[in-house]
Structures are given as structure tokens and as C-alpha cells.
Amino acid sequence: MNFQNKVVLITGASTGIGKELSIILSKRNCKLILIARRIELLDGLVSKISHNSNSEFLTLKCDVSKKEEVTEAYKKSIDKFGKIDIAILNAGFAENMKAEEYNSELAETTFGTNVFGMIYWVEQLLPEFIKRRNGFIVGISSLADNRGFSGSGFYCASKAAASVYLEGLRVELAEFNIKIITVKPGFVKTPMTDKNDFYMPFIMEATKAADIIIKGIEKEKRIIQFPFAVVFVTKLVGFLPGKIYEFFAKKKIL
Ligand SMILES: NC(=O)c1ccc[n+]([C@@H]2O[C@H](COP(=O)([O-])OP(=O)(O)OC[C@H]3O[C@@H](n4cnc5c(N)ncnc54)[C@H](OP(=O)(O)O)[C@@H]3O)[C@@H](O)[C@H]2O)c1
């Protein structure tokens, strides 16, 4: 797969990984649809990168947790470019929470963005992808999808849901030649992690993460996960019996 002349949609393109993906793809001669709520950031990005680019751009304000906004943004994308070839569903939300501040609204925002933000886009994309018998859906999940980490229960659960959902889609849509790619990054330096006050092992720059993701999509990998050390450790942690995991987690070793 290559990005030349493809119509590529990126959600959560205003900052972090999505922004870096947009910058890389701006040089790949494609038609880019950039989505986020802060349209001013998207427009600012485009005015910065478009002079040194061979791609075309469409920026759209859309809250991915709102089905009607996703429907509207899809319509506008099709009006402008006629189709979408690759959708990178990257928009995400994470906030740690202490038990004393327990608040279900945070769960609604987390699942609304990280899970329904994907589901609503897939609902729009599928009919045309199935008719055409091709298309790529790239969902950004996380290596935090395999255990419940203290203070991040909503986030971990939402990423577990995203990963399992994408796996089911991959199996189901293979017969329609629709490729589903799951991306599972470790820690990446972005506004999302800038808020964290804990140690983040092997944290990498967003530019590097975006480069790994683009190369992985080009190779049509099923799962793009990085960096290796964190993949290895999270796999091991995933295998730990619950009691042992909880013992180390309570001591804040995990
Ligand atoms: N950074 C990490 O260590 C890490 C690790 C694993 C996975 N990830 C995943 O990678 C993805 C990108 O995260 P990031 O680290 O680049 O974080 P980020 O810099 O905070 O970017 C999040 C992006 O999502 C957009 N967004 C959030 N809520 C939205 C909504 N309701 N509707 C539309 N757009 C929304 C934000 O734009 P607006 O606020 O302008 O809407 C922003 O562009 C997320 O799915 C995240 O869970 C990150």
C-alpha cells in the first residue's frame, strides 16, 4: 500500500500523534481530511505545512463522540473528495482519576471518544468500503489495553474495548478486502502524556511514533505495536495471574 493519491482521513489531527501523522502525509501527495474539535489548530497546522506540501487538505470541526457530527463530517468529506481510502481513527482522551474523585462523566467522555469515536466513523465508512471491496481502517488503541492500571481504569477498559472491537472487524471484513490495522503505542510524548506526573518508561517523540505508524500501514501490518521493550513487558504482565499482578500493582511496581 502506498499513500500516493489516496484520500486519507485522520481524526485527532490537531495535536500529538495525529498532528505528526498529518505532517508526514502532507508530503506524500495525498488528499488529507483532518478532523478535531479545535478547528483553529487544524487550520493553523495546514497554513504552516501546506506551502511545503504536495497534498490537498480539508479541515473539519467534529466531536467524534457525537454521532450526528461524525455523519455530517463524513458527508462533507465525500462532497469534497468523493471517497475515503484510508481512515486513521486516532482521536483519543485520557485522564487519570483518584477513587475519591470518582466520576462516571469521565467514563462517558473516555468511551465516547476512544470507542464510540471509532464506531461512529466505521458506521459511515463501511457501506462504501463494502461496495468497493477495499479500504483501510487504522484504529489507534494502546499497549494499556491488556490490564487495568490503577487510576486509569476507564482508559484501559476503553482501549481493551477498542482492540477487541478492531480484532472482530478484521476477521469479519476480510472477505470484503477491507484491512483493519490496530496500532498499540507505548508512551509517546504528546499533550496527553505531558499531564502525567509518573515515570513513563521508553517514552518516545511523537514524530518517531508517527513514522513507525506510517511505515506499518504501508506494510499492511495487522498490528503495529511499539516500542519493543514495552511490548515485551506488557505481554509478560498480561500473562501474570490476577493475584500476582495485583500484588505488584498495589506496591506500585506495575
Ligand atoms: N501519548 C501516548 O502515550 C499514547 C499511548 C498509547 C495510545 N495513545 C493514543 O494515541 C491517540 C492520540 O493521542 P495523543 O497522545 O496524540 O494525544 P493528544 O495530543 O491529546 O491528541 C488527542 C487528539 O484527539 C483529539 N480529540 C480528543 N477528543 C476528541 C473528540 N471528542 N472529538 C474529536 N477529536 C478529539 C484532540 O483534538 P481536539 O481536542 O482539538 O478535539 C487531539 O487532536 C489516542 O487515541 C491515544 O489514546 C497515546
Residue 180's CATH number: 3.40.50.720
Q: Is the CB of 16 under 6 A from ligand 1?
A: yes
Farthest-apart Cα atoms in the chain, separation: 56
> How many domains would you assign to the chain?
1
The predicted pLDDT at position 59 comes to 98
**What is the mean predicted confidence (pLDDT) over 167-192?**
98
Q: How far, in Å, is the centroid of ligand 1 from the Cα of 12?
A: 5
Q: Does the pLDDT at position 201 exceed 80?
A: yes
The predicted pLDDT at position 88 comes to 99
The predicted pLDDT at position 253 comes to 78
Neighbours of 208 (CB within 10 A): 14
Q: How far, in Å, is the centroid of ligand 1 from the Cα of 94?
A: 8
Mean pLDDT of the chain: 96
Phi, psi (5° rounding) for residue 76? -65, -35
Residue 221 lies in a domain: yes
Q: What is the pTM of this model?
A: 0.97
Residue 197 lies in a domain: yes
Q: Does the pLDDT at position 252 exceed 90?
A: no
Residue 2 lies in a domain: no
Q: What is the pLDDT of residues 11-32, one digit of tens each?
A: 999 999 999 999 999 999 999 9
Q: Angle at CA 35, nearest 5°, toward 78 and 109?
A: 120
**Domain interval for residue 104:** 7-250
Residue 35 lies in a domain: yes
The predicted pLDDT at position 149 comes to 92
Q: Is the CB of 77 under 6 A from ligand 1?
A: no
**What percent of the chain shows pLDDT beyond 90?**
96
Cell of 91: 482521536
The predicted pLDDT at position 69 comes to 98
Residue minimizing CA distance to atom 16 of ligand 1: 16
DSSP annotation of 76 reads H
Q: How far, in Å, is the centroid of ligand 1 from the Cα of 134?
A: 27
**What is the mean predicted confidence (pLDDT) over 123-136?**
98
Residue 1 lies in a domain: no
> If you compute the radius of gyration of the chain from its CA atoms, what whole number of angstroms results?
18
The predicted pLDDT at position 254 comes to 76
